Structure 1
Amino acid sequence: MSTITTILDLISRSHLAMGVLSVVTAPIVIGVTLTKFRNGNLRLSQGRTKRLYDIMNRKQGGCSASSGALQIAVKDMLGIELPGDAIRFALERDSPLTLLRNIQQAGVLVKFHHNEKCFKDARTRPRLSLQQIFQALILLAIVPYVALIFVGIVFKFIEPIKVAALLTLDLIAMPMIIKAALRADAAARLLKADTVYPPPHPKVGLRDADRSETSPRPRKRRTKASGNEGTAQEEPTRVTASAGVLPALATENV
């Protein structure tokens, strides 16, 4: 019994240490989760991307590939099954891998429409937009943590044991809440795919070709033109010379 009392006394005296540990741990958890699910790069092996890479190296890229070949390639790469039109839509963007990753992350929240070639909200009668859900879930992950810090640790309105238990539960639930928030954010980005993920920019070579067409003509053509003008100017002199000889010959014959 005395041992349990000693442990409880140590826990009650170390409420400041628990608060400091929670203050340090929670931002790390938030940062790692955000980096992993939103800004993390696709670490894919060469074997998983080989099918899609071979398809994109064709003359017409993914446009000439069948839907089955595209589905198998994306299945090997990301482990998800997508319709062929949605994969072609992603491959036509400037950042296709990021768009495919957002499709994987959004899941059933959005649906690709073949006729309009765009993603739309797959929910029936949504009360909140996907961006509003993202903001609400982020607040749900942060507000309880901040409230426990101030109410339970700073102002000591809650017992240290309860504060520790609540902070532990909050830290466990925080990654799942942030994952759901980023899922809604990915779906909201897909609804604005034309703005967030535009098609590739025109090639620089095409712009250089247009500039070369509007450039002035080379000097050789000008020299050739000036030579023609010189010959054109010499012809009248020859005619006048011959015209002057003819009257002289006429007078001699007379």
Structure 2
Amino acid sequence: MTSKLTQRVNHCAFKLQDQKLIAKLSAGDLVAQEAKYHSACLVKLYNASNRKVEEEQNQSPDGQAHGIALVEVIGYIEDIRLADKTVAPIFKLSNLLQLYTDRLQELGVDISGRINSTRLKERLLAHVSGLHAYRQGRDILLTFEEDVGLALKDACLDDFDDEAICIAKAAQIIRRDMLKKHTSHFDGYFEKGCQEDAVPKSLVALLGMLMDEPNIKNKASDTVRQATLSLAQLLQYNSKPRTSQNCLAGSRH
């Protein structure tokens, strides 16, 4: 029987297409071969495999949906934390993973396999200041180290330059997607989903967050959803590349 360690190493080797390691694995189970493992080497292999998975994910058509789902999970965490500052919130990674998976399905992503919980944990720890992971039995718990978390939060609130840079970067990302979107043509009738197809998902997501906050558990009403799509279509219609000829040109209505 192949050991779990061999299975994981084998998976990483094929993901990275490491021919030298694949050749060693072809001889059989590593434990049966009495192979010696260095913890640092295993960690390096696992991290390289995770980076490869993330690169493939970001390059896929669904990469943007993964980013949107992550932002909304982070919004959910921050909302729970701010709801009652006298109680330290504790989140089970399995529950956050379920929220993340459900949101991906709502965004139209085909979930053919199980989402990697370890990778989701690493992304959350990287993007949420002061968040730490702890193991309790079979569960992974996420919580804040109160003093460090509050200090970092206050520093971020006082740093207006960083906020302005974040706004500019967000605008650049959304504008890039808007300019890539092809102009739709009206053929005399409206097909199902034509409003969603006419605008980029990133623009709709941003407007939805502005109108109804980035919380994964808040489901937008039909009125808010239609208002978001209408605003997105108006912005998409008036967007155009900035050139010397149209710097002074007015917006279309």
TM-score calculated relative to the size of structure 1: 0.19
Computing the radius of gyration from Cα coordinates, the structure with the larger value is 1
Higher relative contact order (CA 8 A, sep 6+): 1
More helix by share: 1
